[in-house]
Chain A
Amino acid sequence: MPRKLLYAAVLILVVGGVFWFATEPERLDAATLAGVQPGDPDRGERIFQIGGCASCHVRPDAEGEAELELAGGFALETAFGTFVAPNISPDPEHGIGAWEAADFANAMMRGVSPEGEHYYPAFPYTSYARMKLQDVADLFAYLKTLPPIAEDAPSHTLSFPYTLRRGLGLWKLLYLSEEPVVTFPVGAPEAVLRGRYLVEGPGHCGECHTPRFFTGGLKGDRWLAGARALEGEGSVPNITPSEEGLRSWSPGDIVYYFETGFTPDFDSVGGAMVAVQENLAKLRAEDREAIAAYLKAVPIRASSE
């Protein structure tokens, strides 16, 4: 009997040890971080718009100058509980004012906080992991120029077991990758590759437009095929070149939609896409054209699963 107890104890220790080892929050390595130039806030502003950071990180219904006050507060209600976007203004106490550039890079690209904890992937670092480190540094430099806001957003309200952040280490093993989602043959047009970077990386379009497993991970083979809306009612459309998707849209139609919010049959943008479209309208024309080129080049996926 004591021997059986001993075996059980050893088994628990081994399994626990493997779990602990496998779920260890992993940061970017120092050599990678060392190659980064000091961030350029002007370039960072462009990344800020492509990423639509404000859509989640300003107070809900902020208008005018308040659209640059990143106090947080937007609540994303999901099957796992309610996630609330935090304050990412440069306030040293309530925001990210005390962070180093490396802290920001680890948060964005590895989902690891300065304290070494996993972030929940409601913060879409699975997309940002594909970003160029320099773009992340530029974004950080831009965020530093925005007004500090001395207030805290409400905390997440999650149910057990999702309250245990450590378990996210396993989730990341499955779903966190720097690799592009769509691979194109050598010699693919530059605009398509640029569009891939914008859509799959900073733009994080797949986070809403791709269906998820019950685990919350994106279904890679259903990339951009449309999904139930994460929050609220309705669905998010298929944006692959399929019958239900963008087959009948020309690249010019897609660009016009980004600029004006009107579809080819003059239905208008609505719901959560309104804020996204308003950001897209602020981009450079070449960025909108690149996104359109990529969307016309991705694998065709039907909407039904």
Chain B
Amino acid sequence: MKRFVVSCSALSALFITAAAVTAADDPVAVRKALMQSMAASAATSGAMLKGELDYNPVVAKAALATFNATAHAYGDYFPGGSETGGDTTAAPEIWKDPEGFQEALGKFQTDVAAALEASGKDGPADLAAFQQAVGPVLTNCRSCHEDFRVKNN
């Protein structure tokens, strides 16, 4: 019995390690997950802007915080060798024009920082304030996707 438990623990430790290795070795999966977290925040933001969801400053702040965290992490998951595979839709321009990509990423980080700054500790006070804060952030989606993503659907 004891032996069984030991082997089970060893086995689960192995699985955990395997999972961790997969995450670190699979930048495509990580950047996709990060991008999906931004899509979800954009959806929450959009629903409030459209009036489909009642405005709530806490929710608005959560969306902005997600944009902020992702803006700082996202650029680290495009190492050489991850140009293809894993259903990536990253455009070759990311590696052909790294300065341009960094510039787009930098603009995104600046716009999110400004939005967070404007919204303060408790989040944007009302829908108009949120619209003003998040509007410039959301334009980064299309400006970056114009040059740095290819769509394969």
Whether A260 pairs with B46 at a CB distance below 8 angstroms is: yes
Interface string of B123-153 (1 = CB under 8 A from A): 0000000000000001001110110011111
Expressed in whole angstroms, the Cα–Cα distance for A102 and B1 within the complex equals 94
Which residue from chain A places its CB closest to the CB of B148 in the assembled complex? A270
Given A260-B46, A266-B39, residue A271 in contact with residue B146 (CB < 8 A):
yes
Q: Does B48 contact A (CB under 8 A)?
A: no
Interchain pairs with CB closer than 8 A, number: 57
Contacts of B43 in A (CB 8 A): 265-266
- In this assembly, does A233 line the interface, its C-beta being within 8 Å of a C-beta of chain B? yes
List B76-104 residues whose CB lies under 8 Å from chain A: 89, 91-92
Report the bound CA distance from A237 to B152 in whole Å: 8
Least CB separation from B152: chain A residue:
A234
Question: Cβ of A268 and Cβ of B153 under 8 Å apart?
Answer: no
In contact, A265 and B50 (Cβ under 8 angstroms): no
A271–B151 contact, CB under 8 A? yes
Q: Is B115 an interface residue (CB 8 A)?
A: no
Q: Are A266 and B146 in contact (CB under 8 A)?
A: no
In the complex, whether B28 has a CB less than 8 A from a CB of chain A is no
B114 within 8 Å of A by Cβ? Answer: no
B10 within 8 A of A: no
Which among B40, B91, B142, B149 is the interface contact of A261 at CB below 8 angstroms?
A: B142
Can you list 12 residue pairs at the A/B interface with Cβ under 8 Å?
Answer: A233-B92, A235-B152, A261-B141, A261-B142, A262-B42, A265-B43, A266-B39, A266-B43, A266-B46, A274-B145, A275-B146, A277-B142
* Interface residue SS majority, chain B: helix
> Which chain A residues numbered 253 to 291 have a C-beta less than 8 Å away from chain B?
256, 260-262, 265-271, 274-275, 277
> In chain A between 134 and 189, which residues have their CB closer than 8 angstroms to a CB of chain B?
none
A244 at the interface (CB under 8 A from B): yes
Are the CB atoms of B150 and A262 closer together than 8 Å? no
Interface residues of A toward B: which range?
20 to 34
A274 to B148, alpha carbons, bound, how many Å? 12
* Cα-based distance from A268 to B92 in the complex (angstroms): 19
Residue of B nearest to A261 (CB): B142
Q: Are A235 and B153 in contact (CB under 8 A)?
A: yes
Cα(A283)–Cα(B73), bound, Å = 37
The answer for the CA separation of A275 and B143 in the assembled complex, in Å, is 10
Q: A232 in the interface, Cβ–Cβ < 8 Å?
A: yes
Inter-chain CA distance A268–B39, complex, in Å, is 8
B40 touches A270 (CB 8 A): no
* A270 and B50 form a contact (CB under 8 A): no
Q: How far is the CA of A104 from the CA of B145 in the complex (A)?
A: 35
Q: Which residues of B contact A269 (CB under 8 A)?
A: 141-142, 145
Is A274 touching B42 in the complex (CB atoms < 8 A)? Answer: no
**A226 and B150 alpha carbons, distance in the complex (Å):** 15
Query: Interface majority SS on A: helix, strand, loop or mixed?
Result: loop
Known: A237-B151, A262-B42. Is A268-B145 also a contact (CB below 8 A)?
yes
The 6 closest A-B pairs by CB, nearest first: A270-B145, A268-B141, A234-B150, A266-B43, A274-B146, A266-B42
User: Which among B42, B89, B146, B152 has the highest number of chain A CB atoms within 10 Å?
Assistant: B146
Shortest Cβ distance from B44 into A: residue? A266
* A229 / chain B contacts, CB cutoff of 8 Å: 150
Assess whether B92 is in contact with A270, with CB atoms less than 8 Å apart: no
Decide if A270 touches B151 in the complex (CB within 8 Å): yes
Closest to A245 in B: B153
User: By the criterion CB–CB under 8 Å, are A233 and B142 in contact?
Assistant: no
Q: Which residue of A lies closest to B89 (CB)?
A: A234
> In the complex, given contacts A266-B39, A275-B146, what are 16 additional A-B residue pairs having Cβ atoms less than 8 angstroms apart?
A226-B153, A229-B150, A233-B92, A235-B151, A235-B153, A260-B46, A261-B141, A266-B46, A268-B141, A268-B145, A269-B145, A270-B142, A270-B149, A271-B145, A271-B146, A277-B142
* Contact across chains for A233 and B40 when beta carbons are under 8 A apart: no
Give chain B residues whose Cβ lies under 8 Å from the Cβ of A270.
Answer: 142, 145-146, 149-151
* Per-position 1/0 for B28-53, Cβ under 8 A of A: 00000000000110110010001000
Q: Render B57-75 as a binary contact track against A, CB cut-off 8 A, 1 for contact.
A: 0000000000000000000
- Which of A235, A244, A271, A274 counts the most B-chain CB atoms under 10 A from its CB? A271
Q: Which of B50, B91, B142 contacts A268 (CB 8 A)?
A: B142
Residues of A within 8 A of B50 (CB): 256
Q: Which residue of the partner chain, among A232, A244, A256, contacts B153 with CB atoms under 8 Å? A: A244
